[in-house]
Structure 1
Amino acid sequence: MDVRIAACQIEISPGHPDVNTEKMLSLIKQAKADKQDIVIFPEMAVPGYLIGDEWENRAFVLDCYRYNEQIVASSDGITVVWGNVDIDKEAVGEDGRLRKFNTAFVARNGKIAGRFHKTLHPNYREFDDDRHFYSARKLSGEKDMDIEDFLQPLQIDINGRERRIGVSLCEDMWSDDYTIDPIETLLNNGAECIINISCSPWTWRKNDKRHRVVKDRLKDHPVPYIYVNNIGIQNNGKNLFLFEGNTTVYNPDGSVQNIAGDYEEEVLHVDLQNNGGKKQEKKTLSNHRDNEELLKGLTYGIRKFFDLIHASKAVIGMSGGVDSSLSAYLLCRALGPGQVYAVNMPSEFNSELTRGLARQLAETLQLNYGVVPIQEAFEFTLKQLGNTAFERLDGSGRRTELELSPVVRENIQARDRGSRVLAGIAAALNAVFVNNGNKSETATGYATLYGDINGALAPIADLYKTEVYELCRYINSLEDKNIFSDQLFEIPASAELSDEQNIEEGEGDPFVYPYHDRLLRAFIEFRRDPEDILQWYIDGSLEEMLEIEVGLVSRLFGGHRDFIKDLEHTWRLYKINFFKRIQAPPIIVVSKRAFGFDLRESQMGIHFTRKYREMKKELLKQDH
């Protein structure tokens, strides 16, 4: 094919069609100057994709649709492919509103040359396409057409020759779990190349899977394949999704010809006449690469989130522990150390060691640092609540005096730090304060509501504790000198809220993170039940299935009873603490399943399956 293509990886501003369209018009003008035949933009390039129920705002939808007029008018002498919402004013969608489509439009010489509705609608994780859009699959059924007849390549004259180009949208390439394969259908119907416009968030090792998927799609029909994705962040309210781009041009054999940079606006120029002559090696999978992508993504996500909410300064509590240390580093990397205000808030339970580590890191990062002791306020609150009694006003004279348990005392400190000190300092600085919680704490509720569950953003709440340590070690490996002190990795992880959490005596959090993180990961990312865990334990495959060190389980638990007690305790913590998670700040998503509206939870209490109870009964007999 003698066709020159400009694949435009652009940053999409969700909910701002004016900003996005202006950027597209500029790039169309440049593509004309460069004598390109086709210029391509991502899926939903005009409105953005993850905009929640703004899709139910008729005025907004019609406004987005009208921006097509400017794009079509700019297509004189060039073919433009872009994503936007399409509408059918004469039909009603399945939500009872104006029928809408997620559509790839094609314009040439001032006219619409084709419109291609998304065929496969993802309805998992953060995606909820069927809630708002009507699919090509449903439309073909409505027209009483086989989908194989409905999905046809675009036929268009380019440079005096009729071309047949398959145009598809995002999920249409991820068809393994569907009964329809849109890419194969387009190829069977004569497509000479495939264009896939996407709005596809970054997740762990997803791009490597995409390379394999594309290669598989082309194995029986070797044609050029152009994948165009956007950059930026988009959200569904509770989750912030990273879009790194990774726009890719594939050779007909599925090998990679060219890839755009991560989190960078870039135009890849493709000459399909010479498509088979160049190959680019794909990066190999490794823990180093995982941490490299993770660090880049978290930094980018924090920076873009602060841009989104029009904030420039961040306040953070810095205890000297690993979570706050990593959060402080990420904030400095994203915003600059001059924009970060770290607050150490010691009570009598905070050791000189962690106070020293906090100060040392602050000096290393060169951020703004302050110390606000909370002991006096803590003692005042204890005294005030200890002197409080409730009288039953029914004439009985009954009184209820408050008893401040150790847990209540711990929570008072956490709430004083978050709701009083950090919130107050953030307000005084016209800043926002940031949450330091990790995924292990979020999963088990090992955090205080309105204490350390607060703030505008939870940048590391999709990282388990073990992953926090691993990322810190990776960061140290990047620098000439360690950012994080060796002592940070040696002291026990601890909230330091009581004498029972004294790190100088080796006390800390009530978890063995190398085991419990993997157990929680099975619950969360893979939706495993205690029934599965107990079956693996009985089969002797638990360590293999959780991917943990051989022999760890036997070292942790003295017998079946101890194992079951811990399993049920962890499951209970996980299931009963949804009420805390739903009130937590937005989370930057970096895993296969993040808390928020990625993992959609329901408060249902605790349940153990019948089979679990039967296995437990038989197992405990062996302990007698």
Structure 2
Amino acid sequence: MKITVGQFNVKSKAVKHNFLQMQKQIILAKDQGYDLIVFGEYAMTGYACGDLFKNFDFIKEVEDYQNQIKDLAKGIKVIFGGLVLQKNHLYNAAILYSEDKVHYSFKSNLNKREFSEQDYFISGDNKVVSVKQKNLLLTFSSDLKTLSDQDYDLLVVLDSSAANNLSKVDVVQDVVYANTVGVSGVCKVVWINGGNSYLKQNNQYYTFKDPLAVGIIEDKGQIQSISKLQALAYGIKIWSDQTFGENKKWIVGSSGGLDSAVTTALLAIALGSENVITYNLASKYNKEITINNAKSIASKLKVRHLEGSIQSLVDQAFTTLNNFGYSEISEFNQENIQARTRGHLLSAFSALEDGVISNNGNKLEITLGYATLYGDTIGALSLIGDLNKVEVFELAFEINNYFDQEIIPKNLLPQIKDYNIVWEIAPSAELKADQLDPMKWFYHDLLLDMLLLKSYEEILAIYLENQFADLEIGKWLKFYDLEIGENFMSDFNWFTKTMQINHFKRLQMPPVLAFGNHVLGQDYKESPNLLPKSKQFLHLEAEIIKKY
């Protein structure tokens, strides 16, 4: 049996669009003599449909288009992810059309990471279907761990997983793995659908040369990994085009620091330099070296760059506050006024250019609320908000390799030797003289990874036992003087309290483009309330200070 996989940009809710893409690929596969074409999970609807899955008019529209797929299945068999309504129960289904016959296989484990399937669907059973004297087991990626002992010749796996959440199906039998491409926005997360569909027959793999390509599989190849740069640039392009239309201008507040540099490069790669405008909005605290960085980055990327001072506006804000009777303005409030002035100007520039603003914050900054509401928290999309600072460092090196030149200035990147860091320009918000960011880079990035997986008490117990001796995070303790128990607990209490009290800021930030395996607000759900220290926490804290 000659088999191929169809991969296309599935748009959630856009049933007609999805049908037309499937129609095009079915006709192509038929013309090229394929017996079977397979599409991914939710191919007909996308999965970011929310309560439309409860809307009978929407379900009826889906059924109408699914019947048109049935009409196309003449001389070719078609498998795709669709909806099946039976006795008022809605199933996430793998649907097989073969001439005038239809077969359904229902998803069993409704535990999709990206959204709560159990709110909309009923769990069902995977089915084995006989096609051309071959037994096909129609299943889903989430059902692979619980497959029943059934006889089959070909495993057909439908998926709609994000780019960072893919794995090769580890079975001896022949396999068809069909995923989707595109983006899917669920609440405040924009997922990058991971593609990488493949076919394994007689121990030979057939794949796409580009794992995020649109089309049908025709060639032999190997399953490829998708890099951060490839996934993020793809996600930006698809999301921007689908949300705003093609050639939308993006506005970047370019400080000359690392995060805005990486954001600018991502946008230039994804959308073209002509659709990116950078603004350097300096105050009296911004150094010449970072101002020059911003100019150099724009020049090398060939993006339009404007620069100027905001100091007169900041001073006028202070004067206005004085006129209202506020004669004493704290240093902290002075910093926030600068950030909000930049946010105000970027919003005005964006309106004048008919553009949208990028949010430049990284995951560690977002977690700790190291941003000013209505200042650097603004933006249409958080492009690197799912990457910690270490991942941003890695992405910077990847960007420079992509261009084969120093786009991201080396003066922004740390030099690491024996778990010691040397900076030419240490990360700084530059909102006051000689300011440095309060984060302990690398250590806090790794601590955040632990906090997204383990309880406070579990982490303290590991430290008490051996000071993270078996973990990468333990190698950073000496550099930050955290081998002293009192220092460790002081830092841990600061980090966790700061993380908790800034939950309200995270709620007001833009949607985040997801690439990690532990996305804030989705994989890691939290309460806005402060968590009191448990008896076990207090006991472990005392023991750590006593022991170390």
TM-score by length of 1: 0.82
* Paired residue total: 535
Name the counterpart of 2:319. Answer: 383
1:422 aligned residue (346, 349, 354): 346
| Local SS of the residue matching 1:446 | coil
1:519/1:543 CA distance change after superposition, 3 Å:
farther
For 2:440, the equivalent position in structure 1 comes to 512
For structure 1, the residue ranges without an aligned partner over 5 or more in a row are 92-98, 138-150, 176-180, 271-277, 284-288, 390-400, 502-507
Partner secondary structure for residue 242 of structure 1: strand
SS of residue paired to 1:567:
helix
**Displacement of 1:269:** 4.5
Instruction: Pick the aligned partner of 1:459 from 376, 379, 383.
Output: 383
Query: SS state of the match for residue 336, structure 2?
Result: helix
CA gap 1:582/1:127 in 2 versus in 1, 3 angstroms:
same
In the alignment, structure 1 residue 106 sits paired with structure 2 residue 96: yes
What secondary structure sits across from 1:414 in the alignment? helix
SS across alignment from 2:384: coil
Say which of 555, 558, 561 aligns to 2:486. Answer: 561
Q: Give the deviation of 1:33 after TM superposition.
A: 1.8
Partner of 2:228: 294
Please list every run of at least 4 consecutive aligned residues from structure 1 whose deviation after the TM superposition is greater than 4 angstroms.
280-283
Q: 1:534 to 1:554 in 2, by over 3 A?
A: farther
The Cα offsets for residues 324-358 of structure 1, whole Å up to 9 and x where unpaired, read as 00001111111111111100100111111111111
Could you say which residue in structure 2 is the equivalent of 1:141? none
Q: Give the superposed CA RMSD.
A: 2.0
Residue 250 (structure 1) aligned with residue 200 (structure 2): yes
What is the rounded CA distance, in whole Å, between the counterparts of 2:479 and 2:23 in structure 1? 64
Question: Structure 1 residue 229 and structure 2 residue 227: aligned?
Answer: no
DSSP-derived class of the 1:104 partner: strand
- Which deviations, in whole Å up to 9, do the C-alpha atoms of 1:13-41 show, x marking residues without a partner? 11111011111112222222222211211
The residue that corresponds to 2:431 in the other structure is 497
Matches of residues 415-454 of structure 1 in structure 2 within 5 Å? 415-418=340-343, 420-454=344-378
Aligned counterpart in structure 2 of residue 47 of structure 1, from 38, 41, 45: 45
Report matched runs for 1:213-228 at 5 Å.
214-215=169-170, 218=171, 222-228=172-178
Q: Output the CA distance in 2 between the equivalents of 1:35 and 1:227.
A: 20
CA contact (8 A) 1:155 1:165 kept: yes
Cα separation, 1, equivalents of 2:353 and 2:283: 24
Check whether the contact 1:248–1:256 (CA below 8 A) recurs between aligned residues: no
CA distance, structure 1, for counterparts of residue 523 and residue 508 of structure 2: 15
The residue identity in structure 2 corresponding to 1:169 is F
- Residue matched to 1:136: 124
Alpha-carbon offset, residue 471 of structure 1: 1.5
Aligned counterparts of 2:546 and 2:483: Cα–Cα separation in 1: 15
Q: Deviations over 1:455-502 (max 9, x none)?
A: 10110111111221221123223434311222222201000001241x
Q: What amino acid maps onto 1:486 in structure 2?
A: K
Partner of 1:201: 162
Quick one: which amino acid aligns to residue 170 of structure 1? S
The residue that corresponds to 1:472 in the other structure is 396
> Which consecutive residues of structure 2, in runs of 5 or more, have no partner in the other structure?
414-423
Report Cα offsets for 1:415-443 as digits up to 9, x if no partner.
1101x101111011111011000011001
State the alpha-carbon separation in 2 of the partners of residues 165 and 269 from structure 1. Answer: 21
What CA distance in whole angstroms lies between the structure 2 residues aligned with 1:61 and 1:408? 53
Matches of 2:54 and 2:308, distance apart in 1: 47
Structure 1 residue aligned with 2:418: none
Does 1:170 pair with 2:109? no
- Per-residue CA deviation, residues 215-268 of structure 1 (Å, 9 max, x unaligned), is 2xx3xxx4211111111111103111111311122346xx56122232101312
Kept after mapping to 1: 8 A contact 2:443/2:476: no
Partner of 2:241 in structure 1? 307
Cα distance in 2 for partners of 1:438, 1:468 equals 8
Q: 1:155 to 1:480 in 2, by over 3 A?
A: closer
AA at the equivalent of 1:155: S
Decide whether aligned partners of structure 1 residues 562 and 552 sit closer, same or farther in structure 2, where only a CA change above 3 A counts. Answer: closer
Q: Which amino acid is the alignment partner of residue 154 of structure 2?
A: C
* Other-structure match for 2:274: 338
State the structure with more CA Rg: 1
Q: Which amino acid aligns with 2:162?
A: P
- Contact 1:233 1:304 (C-alpha < 8 Å) held by counterparts: yes
Does the 8 Å CA contact 2:128/2:136 hold for their aligned counterparts? Answer: yes
> How far apart are the structure 1 equivalents of 2:541 and 2:137?
55
Counterpart for residue 216 of structure 2: 267
- In structure 1, the residue matched to 2:108 is 119
What is aligned with 2:130? Answer: 155
1:293-329 Cα distance to aligned partner (Å, 9 max, x none): 1000111111111111124110010000000000011
Aligned to 1:578: 503
Structure 1 residues 500 and 53: CA distance shift in structure 2, 3 A: farther
Structure 2 CA distance for partners of 1:36 and 1:486, relative to 1, 3 Å: closer
Structure 1 residue 622, shift from structure 2 partner: 5.3
Matched residue SS, 2:206:
strand
Q: 1:403 to 1:296 in 2, by over 3 A?
A: same
1:303, 1:202 → 2: CA distance? Answer: 15
Aligned counterpart for 1:589 among listed residues 482, 489, 514:
514
Q: CA deviation at 1:169?
A: 2.2
Q: Deviations over 1:29-61 (max 9, x none)?
A: 222222221121111111111222232332222
Identical columns (%): 29
**In structure 2, C-alpha distance between the alignment counterparts of 1:163 and 1:262, rounded to whole Å:** 28
The aligned counterpart of 2:417 is none
In 2, the alpha carbon distance for the partners of 1:104 and 1:551 equals 49
Q: 1:440 to 1:37 in 2, by over 3 A?
A: same
Q: 2:190 aligns with which of 227, 237, 240?
A: 240
SS at match of 1:315: strand
Whether contact under 8 Å (2:363, 2:384) holds in the other structure is: yes
Change (3 A) 1:225 1:558: closer
Give the conservation status (yes or no) of the 8 Å contact 1:116–1:168: yes
Determine if the alignment matches structure 1 residue 63 to structure 2 residue 41: no
SS at match of 2:217: strand
